[in-house]
Amino acid sequence: MLKKILIIITILCFSSAHSQHEWTPAKVLLKNGTSFRGLVKFPKHSGGLISIGSTAFKYKKNRKSKTEKYGNEAVQEVIFGDETFATVHYKYVPIRANKHILLKEVVRGKVSLYSRTVLLFQDTYLPDLNPKITGYYYDDTQFYLKRKQEQVAKLIADPNTFISFPLETKKYFSDCKEIVDYLDNDLYDLNNLIELVEDYNLLCE
């Protein structure tokens, strides 16, 4: 049992330390109103109930510059792309008291939809004379919902936990009968989450 626990801890630590996004050009907007461009590198965390590692991201003006770190205390938004390419916005979003994480803004409105890529481990148990856990890492996506007045975002879809998408979405959108009726008739599933949020923002007061 102890050996299995140590293996799990090792997996989580490895995924935190060795699975970051590549250096990418971006614009960083600070809460004090200033902004600057350069290269940023986001951390990627393990999915599930435990997320190990810093929520701060790395920044440097160019590839030869010194690396700095920025987090929720200073950062308002990080924007990828420009007027030529579609822009992608990342923000620090509260998921519980005193815990903010970097999330991609997928839909902005009365209800905003956010996502982040998480690193998961798929084990392949080999029942031979020397049993051991092997496997591989892969990327998946978590989704969060948040109204402007809500203190924390709601985790609505997570590949590593047993969240009932129909049940949780009906609870979250229970203030709009039209959307609940659509959900009861299976007009939305996880693949239609963006459409669901956009329809709610359009149809519901």
Tens digit of pLDDT for each residue in 106-122?
A: 999 999 999 998 877 77
Is 128's pLDDT higher than 50? yes
- 133: β partners: 125
From the number of C-beta atoms within 10 Å of its C-beta (0-12, 13-18, 19+), residue 174 rates as exposed
Q: Is the dihedral of CA 12, 14, 17, 20 positive or negative?
A: negative
Q: How far apart are the first and last CA of the chain?
A: 53
pLDDT per position as a tens digit, 44-54? 776 554 555 56
For the entire predicted model, the pTM comes to 0.79
